[in-house]
Structure 1
């Protein structure tokens, strides 16, 4: 395992937040034009805001961990659609980051290693997308997934589990259906813990869930996952072989939202809780792009604010 990495765990809770036109305009001015084109396609404003905040978290992370000025940051996407920093500099620390959103939560996990500690090639590791069989090499990375613990599928939970059978190993199903998981909510939490872990893994290596998920099997050692306890004892096996270059953290952001972070070939410098930001704190670093750009962005945001809400916020 490589040297310890500085780790960032950030979150934004969008409950009860309705942005003003001024706030939304300031935020959208920070987003690259191609990302605004992607964002406007969302039908619901909830999804728009969640994705927008994810982009703002990425910009904040890069601006705080590299010597790249906030307004010079350029993101691109690899062939699988995973965002990465396009204009990294040779004298900047090597970084990896990943974002996720579900329910009312938007989260980011990021790791930083000094360029002198890096043992891989000079190219940014974020442009690499290791396959399932090469994910335990000397490159490093992070993946994160958040899920709200709820089921709204319409079918019974047992029928839903039957449909999802092929996505979990036999040992994972034994854990989900353990006798002390006596209620549907307990079984659902066990299911979502496993699903978050799998998502964090595949997001780390950038292959999506097109791989055979039964090949990656998690052994959850502790049921003590709650808002006061971070679980780090979960182990991963790939094709029944222990994957020793992987570490996992599991968090409960609140009673409803479960998070898994996958660290590949790096050790977080310390365990820690998520740091929460409000929307305005993500706007630091913006600049005046001139009246024409401001007015064009305002019109864009007026159309955003007309979008429907997916849910009633508490």
Structure 2
């Protein structure tokens, strides 16, 4: 667990293998801010609670590692678009979290030592993870018809050009993952016309041990020159994409495969912010996990 070239980290946490005990919950919920704790209490299912608290803990561990800030002095806020950011002044970092399928992921980086840069020129990061499957019940052709407005004509040509249904599903999820990483970076959410966000995928095969960096983006038919994208697999069933804006072209992103953390690594160096809340954790522990279809 360390910073890579250019001050980057790429972390994944396997949620399917984490069934926290009451002791685990007491520690985890004492290591997040009060407003985060209140937000997490609203989740109906344990799966969503677990994924979200792991995301918060990954953010805190990353900032601690990247800045040297004392664990319990780290303060997060949310901007007007709801994206978390580090409130502590004088530290140049950016990070983003996502979860889907069995993984929660974080992509983070040191942004710049030059505080004179305008905000629009600062490096920024977004991440998304997708499980590569289709379980919608409808024929795939009907599903694609219903999703037609979410992809550009060029993207649909790429998706439908794949020879087998499994390849088309992978191409669909890969394009969706790229779009999500981009909109999470800019903070707009999936509320814009996604047909105007169009990716060109040049390498057909993703890998767990190699990062593809050659996909390109057009927005409203304009080539986005200051954007770079990483794509890889966490495992054979989960693809992940990282969107980076204003990262210098000389920074090598090709080795940024995702490192899988366990709970003990994630909690290393923790200092609780809050007192143990047995009642809160017992309520969380009483919630059901989602039934697997």
Paired residues in the alignment total 286
1:287 equivalent to 2:271? Answer yes
String of CA shifts for 1:4-43, please: whole Å, max 9, x gaps: 8321111111223211111111011001111111111111
Residue of structure 2 aligned with 1:120, choices 117, 126, 145: 117
What stretches of structure 1 of length at least 5 have no aligned partner? 126-136
With 224-233 and 252-261 compared, the bigger mean Cα shift is at 224-233
**Match of residue 82 from structure 1:** 83
C-alpha separation between the residues in 2 aligned to 1:288 and 1:9?
24
| Aligned counterpart, 2:16 | 15
Unaligned segments of structure 2, at least 5 residues: none
Distance 2:184 2:283 in 1: 32
Question: What SS class does the counterpart of residue 7 from structure 2 fall into?
Answer: strand
Contact 2:72 2:273 in 1 (8 A): no
Shift, 1:119, TM fit? 4.7
Provide closer, same or farther for how the CA distance between residues 114 and 250 of structure 1 changes in structure 2, counting only shifts above 3 A: same
Question: What is residue 110 of structure 1 aligned with on the other side?
Answer: 108
Secondary structure of 1:144's aligned partner: strand
Query: Match of 1:36?
Result: 37
2:177 is aligned to 196
Equivalent residue runs for 1:1-314 within 5 Å: 5-87=6-88, 89-90=89-90, 92=91, 94-116=92-114, 118-121=115-118, 125=119, 137-178=120-161, 181-267=162-248, 268-272=251-255, 273-287=257-271, 293-294=275-276, 297-311=277-291
Q: What SS does the aligned partner of 1:84 have?
A: strand
Note closer, same or farther for the CA distance 1:47–1:288 as it changes in structure 2 (3 Å cut).
closer
Secondary structure of 2:17's aligned partner: coil
Which deviates the most, 15-24 or 53-62?
Answer: 15-24
Q: Is 304-313 or 49-58 further displaced after alignment?
A: 304-313
CA distance in 1, matches of 2:267, 2:242: 25
Contact 2:94 2:111 in 1 (8 A): no
Instruction: Give 1:128's aligned residue.
Output: none
The more displaced of 47-56 and 31-40 is 31-40
**Separation in 2 of the partners of 1:289 and 1:75?**
13
> C-alpha displacement at 1:158, in angstroms?
1.3
CA distance in structure 2 between the aligned counterparts of 1:309 and 1:111, rounded to whole angstroms? 33
What is the CA–CA distance in structure 2 between the aligned matches of 1:18 and 1:160, rounded to whole Å? Answer: 34
1:202-258 C-alpha deviation (Å, 9 max, x unpaired): 100111111111111100001121223321110111222211100001010001111
| TM-score computed with the length of structure 1 as normaliser | 0.86
SS of equivalent residue, structure 2 residue 36: helix
Contact in 2 for aligned 1:29/1:286 (Cα 8 Å): no
Deviations 1:38-76 (A, max 9, x none): 111111101110010000000011111114211011111
Q: How many angstroms apart in 1 are the aligned matches of 2:292 and 2:26?
A: 23
Q: Distance in 2 between matches of 1:288 and 1:145?
A: 29
